[in-house]
Structure 1
Amino acid sequence: MDLRSLNIFIEVAELGSFTRAGEKLGYSQPTISFQIKQLEKEMGTQLFDRIGHTVTLTDTGRDALDYAQRICHCCQEMLLTGTGRREPAGILRLGMADSLCQPLIASQFARFRSAYPKVSLQVTTTDTTGLLEKLDHNEVDMLCTMDDHVYDTNYIIADEEEIGVHFVASPAHPLSKAKRVEISQLLAEPFLLTEKGMSYRRLMDEQLARSSLEISPVLETGQADLICTLVGQNMGLSFLPDYVTEGMVRQGALTRLNVPELHVVVWKQLLYRREKWLSAPMRVMIDHLKTLRLLGGIS
């Protein structure tokens, strides 16, 4: 048993494929298969179930993966000690909902960069389904979603925050004075919305569809800040998460409407695969993001 075999084992477990592991590590598929068979022979147990083209860890394999990750982590720590480089270093591939980039990356990158100058970020943005696919194929190390709550035993939830979503209007709009607004009143108004299918927009559409209702917006854009500005100018209503509208609501430039018939919450969740080895860059990013709250700033 050597470190090369353990690294191969870790990559096969994370990628779920001998072929993809070989491509990533620069080995042929037969070499990967041979190394795994040798490791299984040395341990006297089967580490993977091989069914067709699917490779999944056995119960023993999951236990072995934990040991392999710890061994490789300790070796990396030892090498860092020998070279005098104890600070986290490396590339972190972070998947993220586009709406989270401004509050979590753009406004906080300088602070993260100052604390961890040797950690480089590769940020990928797409919808939640696309992010989870990338996580499952090890194309990102971890992801931060803004959507319905994800419940899946394959993922570790490193952090989460519940966020309310409300209909908003200009203070000059007649509905802003109402103590209660009915769905039927909203349907008669022009709407400015994010793209169809985007997390909170999708959840709103799904709830309305259960009552055979639909909102047809006069404007669709991924720019939430633009929507806030136009709503503030009384160009229409919108449906946005509270962290997006908080500033303008506090300034009195927007009003949240009370619509009891429709209740939507979304969750900001930081996820990674259960079998994923937590590298130093992953650990410091988790610690960093845990200090950030969309409603309330830095904790």
Structure 2
Amino acid sequence: MEFRLLKTFVTIAKTLSFTKAADSLGYAQSTVTSQIQALEEELGIMLFERLGKQIKLTKEGEHLYTYATQILKLSDEAKDQLSSSLVPKGSLTIGTAESLCVHRLPEVFNIFRSRYPEVEINIRFDTVSDYRTHLRKNTIDIAFFLDVPCKENDLITHMLFEEPMSVIAAPNHPLAKKQQVIPHDINGEPLVLTAEGCSYRRIFESILTQAGAKPSSIMGVSSNEVIKKFVCDGWGIGFLPHVVVQQELMTSQLIELHWAGPPFAIKAQLLYHKDKWLSPALKAFIGVTLATLKE
């Protein structure tokens, strides 16, 4: 398989459009079409299902996409490693949580981009378990996430700082009047939490379960902004990093319940694989992050 064919395939898979892929790669659309046909003929499979003007990957295409992204990434790493230049360049793929990306990492990104403008940064959002999988498959270079302190033999972990968490509710919620809120007080209350797989949702639910507190319902939402809106509207109690809700607390759109239950002990962490080749760009990014965020 030729690298140019794999690159075309991956670009189409990301955009789900032959036209957009052609524009991105600087090819005529007929060239992109013929390249995919050549790749399909070589492999003896169909890579895309074409439904009118829409396309999507076949199961075989999904399998190839996993391998193709790794092949192209390894190719880029090989070029970087063999290059005589030590100036950070190329690209970095960073996995991170939305709250960290919006509220904690902008300073890191700004400093890094000002120093190393030739490095392209790509960001993807996933759950904690997905980050670990991506690091082990080498589909991301580095991950930032919130969790209790954890150590895994094949991953290098840097603890950055403790992330304060807030149990939040609408200002007129009955629990807003309590001087202390413990897990038992949550029993029978509806919750509006992050999606399943989120580390701090798992931690909060674990605390409630250990205390024998059972919420009446749990709504899982993948957007922090939607969670805040639903909690403001009285849909239930929420649990988010304090930095995410501080503006709403200041303007009294939300209230922070006086949590007196077990501490959450959630840490912001930076991880990468122990066997990961640290390119000049990745070394520089780790250095900027530790200098900026590590307590």
The CA distance in 2 between the partners of 1:280 and 1:267, in whole Å, is 27
With normalisation by structure 1, the TM-score equals 0.63
Equivalent runs, 1:259-270 vs 2, <5 Å: 259-270=259-270
State the AA in 2 paired with 1:137: K
Cα shift at 1:264 = 1.7
Q: CA–CA distance in 1 between the matches of 2:205 and 2:167?
A: 13
Correspondence for 1:210: 210
CA distance in 2: counterparts of 1:108 and 1:230, whole angstroms: 31
Q: Which amino acid aligns with 1:290?
A: L
Shift, 1:107, TM fit = 7.5
Work out whether residues 158 and 286 of structure 1, in 8 Å CA contact, stay in contact via their aligned partners in 2.
no
Q: Which residue of 2 aligns with 1:243?
A: 243
Which residue of structure 2 lines up, in the alignment, with residue 114 of structure 1?
114
In 2, the alpha carbon distance for the partners of 1:87 and 1:123 equals 22
Alignment-derived partner of residue 127 in structure 1: 127
212 and 189 in structure 1: CA distance in 2 versus 1, 3 angstrom threshold: closer
- The amino acid of 1:284's aligned partner reads A
Structure-2 change in CA distance of 1:224 and 1:189 (3 Å): same
Q: Contact 1:159–1:290 (CA<8 Å) still a contact in 2?
A: no
Rounded to whole Å, the distance in 1 between the matches of 2:104 and 2:265 is 19
Q: What displacement does 1:247 show?
A: 2.6
- The offset of 1:179, in angstroms, is 1.0
Partner of 1:224: 224
Cα pair 2:200 2:266 within 8 Å, conserved:
yes
* Alpha-carbon distance between aligned partners in 2 of 1:235 and 1:215, rounded to the nearest angstrom: 13
Deviation readout 1:130-162 (Å, 9 max, x if unpaired): 211221222222111222222124332244211
Counterpart CA distance in 2 for 1:181 and 1:221 is 24
2:188–2:215 contact (8 Å) kept in structure 1: no
Gap runs ≥5 in structure 1 = 1-18, 27-68, 81-85
How far apart, in 1, do the equivalents of 2:268 and 2:112 lie? 19
Paired position in structure 1 for 2:184: 184
Equivalent AA in structure 1 for residue 213 of structure 2: L
Q: What secondary structure, in the 3-state scheme, does the structure 1 residue paired with 2:175 have?
A: helix
Cα distance change, pair 116–23 in 1 and its aligned pair in 2 (3 A)? closer
In the superposition, the TM-score normalised over structure 2's length comes to 0.64
Q: Deviations over 1:199-237 (max 9, x none)?
A: 111111122223443324463211112222332344432
CA distance in 2: counterparts of 1:219 and 1:274, whole angstroms: 37
Structure 2: unaligned runs, 5 residues or longer: 1-66
CA gap 1:257/1:136 in 2 versus in 1, 3 angstroms: same
The 1:174–1:216 alpha-carbon spacing in structure 2 relative to 1, beyond 3 Å, is closer
* Corresponding residue number in structure 1 for 2:53: none
- Match of 1:132, SS state, is helix
Map Cα deviations across residues 57-116 of structure 1 (whole Å, 9 max, x no partner). Answer: xxxxxxxxxxxx9xx96x74xx33xxxxx6421111222234433234568645543332
Distance 1:23 1:194, change over 3 A: closer
Question: Residue 160 of structure 2 corresponds to which residue in structure 1?
Answer: 160
Whether the 8 Å CA contact 2:144–2:268 is kept in 1: the answer is: yes
Q: Report the Cα offset of residue 188 of structure 1.
A: 3.4
Q: Secondary structure at 1:200's aligned position in 2? A: helix
- Separation of aligned partners in 2, 1:256 and 1:291: 31
Q: From the superposition, tell whether residues 222 and 96 of structure 1 become closer, same or farther in structure 2 (CA, over 3 Å).
A: same
Conserved 8 A contact 1:95-1:140: yes
Letter matched to residue 190 of structure 2: P
Q: Residues 195 and 23 of structure 1: is their aligned pair in 2 closer, same or farther, counting only changes over 3 Å?
A: closer
CA RMSD of aligned residues (A): 3.3
SS of equivalent residue, structure 2 residue 164: strand
Q: Hey, what's the Cα distance between the residues in 2 that align with 1:230 and 1:109?
A: 31
Q: Distance in 1 between matches of 2:246 and 2:291?
A: 19
Amino acid at match of 2:95: G
Distance 2:182 2:148 in 1: 24
Deviation at 1:268, TM superposition (A): 1.2
- Matches of 1:214 and 1:178, distance apart in 2: 19
Match of 1:40 in 2: none
Query: Cα offset for 1:123?
Result: 2.3
Amino acid at match of 1:206: S
Q: 1:170, 1:134 → 2: CA distance?
A: 37
Contact 2:184 2:208 in 1 (8 A): no
